[in-house]
Structure 1
Amino acid sequence: MGVPGPVWAVTVAGIAALLLFDYFFHVRKAHTPALREAAVWSAGYVGVALLFGVGVWFFGGTVMGTEYFAGYVTEKALSVDNLFVFLIIIGSFHVPRPDQQKVLLFGITFSLLARTAFIFLGATLINAFAWVFYLFGLILLLTAGNLLKPEETEGRPGDNTVVRIVKRVFPASGTFDGDKLFTTVDGKRVMTPMLLVMVAIGGTDILFALDSIPAIFGLTQNVYLVFTATAFSLLGLRQLYFLIDGLLDRLVYLSYGLAAILAFIGVKLILHALHENNVPFINGGEPVHVIEISTGLSLAVIIGVLVITVLASLFSAKGKAQNVVAAARRHAAEYLDESGEADAAAQERTFRKMLAEEQQMRELPEKYRARIREQRQLMDLLRAAHDKHER
């Protein structure tokens, strides 16, 4: 079903207005959103996305409505997974907490622009070459396999190739200057780490799009639905980051759930490619009569896998251990941060939180305590915090 030009224009204008609202009313003044603020705005953006989906269902019919919600849920889950990488990049650059909002909003804006370009490129390829479905399916299967690989804990995802190239070409300062992108050092204009972290996030966003766009094209080939589901999944991601910051490390099985979803959609794409086949060396260039997976079944599988994954993560001992370790690491780093503007009382509260988390670690089963003791960086960080407190 085609979507009229005026509807496209109103939709794009509405999404642009939501982004501009964020820039002018939320991140203009650096601050750390309170839990209530993050919760209210996260719920508001999700509500807008759901209302839009209801409108699509009402005006476009059941098929379009189901395709939109399947795409939105999938893209939202993938965007939450992206938050893990954002968290690591922001941590590796030691971005001050009040300035993290602006970094995240830039990442969301860049991601929306990059994915929009990929959406129209993907639609053009699909219309011109039916074999692209095979390629998209293979990309998703490979991505699913990569998600199951053990993560590199000692890596530095913030120090990627793009950042290294930029550092070589342009001089950069070693410290932040508020939320400025450039500053003056010894009479020379240089970049600040704020610009470098934005470059790092922008570079990783391009990689995210390589699995995000094939995934949603596996659920619908309607470009309007692909664009809107992707856009609404990204809007509100900044607030969601601050809302579930403490839970991100708790979702230990999310990568397995996403791997299952991407593999499922990859198989769905390959089956569709076989059904529409015109590749000469497959069945003589004739369509292969195979079963096709409906969008309704896809939506049910996606929601079911996500619910099981989240519940398993929240109630698992591994999830609880990982969550308390991440919280202790974060509070120790905050306490040791000399560039922060926290007063003595705020620093003392942060230290007390770290002490409580250390006590929780001591109450974990021995196998988890043994793994924690093997994390030398964490142990050194905690000892440094205690040394500073004693001094």
Structure 2
Amino acid sequence: MTARKAVKFVLMWMSLAVLFNLGVWYFEGSAKALEFLGGYIIELSLSVDNLFVFLMIFTSFGIKKEYQRRTLNYGIIGAIVLRAIFILLGIKVVNSIHWILYIFGLILIVSGFKMIFGHEDNKDYTDSKVLKILKKIIPVSDTLHEEKFFIRHGGKLLATPLFAVLIIIESSDVLFAIDSIPAVFSISTDPFIVYTSNIFAILGLRSLYFVLNALHEKFKYVKVGVALILMFTGVKLGILFFHIEIPIVISLATIFALLVGSIIISLIATRKEKKDEEEVKLKKVDL
């Protein structure tokens, strides 16, 4: 999928989310519509960082673009199922143990700090614990076999590196859900709102991935914006202990400002770096 085509699909999925939100507003009222919008923006924002992880996983295993599509499709299906399970369990826990929200808040704040100060930009996923566990369950071949997940070699069933990538992606999505779902809980604990906002964000992930794949170098500071969103939602949950509740409109404005601000800063920084590189080249030519 080309970047231009991917952008069109991203806009299509976003348009569908907006239409759905209008339906929520019509049938459920403005408060629920704002909750859906907040949940959707949070999930979409956090998905960006998750997609960067997907990109690193594919890069680590040397998976070509033409073979990534199938893995992403299965990954998204898995994410939809996992979200349903995590959301239902999460809401049940929150309804039973309300103070768990404060724990969720702490987790989000810690995750935000780790995202900013962690060093996983060049992580090698070919040496991951998930892969080591997988190899104990089923042998993994050393070479790709197009889009196949399994092959038979010498009478033995082998998993391909593409299947290993799928498992690692699914495992990373589990970790991602630990951050994203509590973050959405800072906006709403309505199962319908939480799940639908998650699903609409997830449905556009494949297209968004191909956009980021083409333009990821231009969004180098988006990760910081996402981390700040995590910390903000963590604080939002934490201060509930003191019976302080940040209005949803302010929450939406803050989240939107952090995301858009990080994108703008990234673009400015990228343009400046490009300009500096061109100046260096010109100086070398003059010499």
TM-score (structure 2 length as normaliser) = 0.92
Matched, 1:297 2:250: yes
Looking at structure 1, the residues matched to 64 and 230 of structure 2 have their Cα atoms a distance apart, in angstroms, of: 34
1:219-269 Cα shifts (integer Å, max 9, x gaps): 111111000000000102111111232222221211221122111111111
Moved more, 86-95 or 261-270: 261-270
Task: Give the match for residue 91 of structure 1.
Answer: 59
Letter aligned with residue 183 of structure 1:
I
* 1:1-391 alignment, distance < 5 Å: 33-275=1-243, 291-317=244-270, 320=273, 363=278
Task: Give the match for residue 285 of structure 2.
Answer: none
- CA distance 1:207–1:293, shift in 2 (3 Å): same
- CA distance 1:157–1:173, shift in 2 (3 Å): closer
Moved more, 113-122 or 155-164: 155-164
Structure 2: any 5+ residue segments left out of the alignment?
Answer: 282-287
- CA distance 1:273–1:313, shift in 2 (3 Å): same
1:103-149 Cα shifts (integer Å, max 9, x gaps): 11222221221122111111011111111111111111111111111
Q: CA deviation at 1:153?
A: 4.4
Asked if structure 1 preserves the Cα contact closer than 8 Å seen for 2:225 and 2:262, the reply is: yes
Looking at structure 2, the residues matched to 319 and 118 of structure 1 have their Cα atoms a distance apart, in angstroms, of: 42
Looking at structure 2, the residues matched to 104 and 320 of structure 1 have their Cα atoms a distance apart, in angstroms, of: 32
Q: CA deviation at 1:364?
A: 6.1
Secondary structure at 1:228 match in 2: helix
Larger CA Rg, structure 1 vs 2 = 1
- CA distance 1:318–1:268, shift in 2 (3 Å): same
Asked if structure 1 preserves the Cα contact closer than 8 Å seen for 2:218 and 2:270, the reply is: no
Query: RMSD value over aligned CA atoms?
Result: 2.0
Secondary structure at 1:293 match in 2: coil
- CA distance 1:259–1:152, shift in 2 (3 Å): closer
1:72-101 Cα shifts (integer Å, max 9, x gaps): 011001111111000000111111221111
Secondary structure at 2:147 match in 1: coil
Q: Give aligned pairs, total.
A: 281
Asked if structure 2 preserves the Cα contact closer than 8 Å seen for 1:88 and 1:158, the reply is: no
Secondary structure at 1:174 match in 2: coil
Asked if structure 1 preserves the Cα contact closer than 8 Å seen for 2:46 and 2:180, the reply is: yes
Q: Which has the higher contact order (CA 8 A, sep 6+)?
A: 2
Looking at structure 2, the residues matched to 37 and 123 of structure 1 have their Cα atoms a distance apart, in angstroms, of: 37
Asked if structure 1 preserves the Cα contact closer than 8 Å seen for 2:229 and 2:255, the reply is: yes
Letter aligned with residue 82 of structure 1:
N
- CA distance 1:64–1:107, shift in 2 (3 Å): same
Asked if structure 1 preserves the Cα contact closer than 8 Å seen for 2:141 and 2:159, the reply is: yes
Moved more, 59-68 or 238-247: 238-247
Looking at structure 1, the residues matched to 122 and 209 of structure 2 have their Cα atoms a distance apart, in angstroms, of: 23
1:151-182 Cα shifts (integer Å, max 9, x gaps): 24443135321211111331121111121111
Secondary structure at 1:42 match in 2: helix
- CA distance 1:260–1:99, shift in 2 (3 Å): same
Q: Whose helix fraction is larger, Structure 1's or Structure 2's?
A: 2
Looking at structure 1, the residues matched to 264 and 132 of structure 2 have their Cα atoms a distance apart, in angstroms, of: 39
- CA distance 1:110–1:159, shift in 2 (3 Å): farther
Q: CA deviation at 1:213?
A: 0.6
TM-score (structure 1 length as normaliser) = 0.68
Moved more, 107-116 or 46-55: 107-116
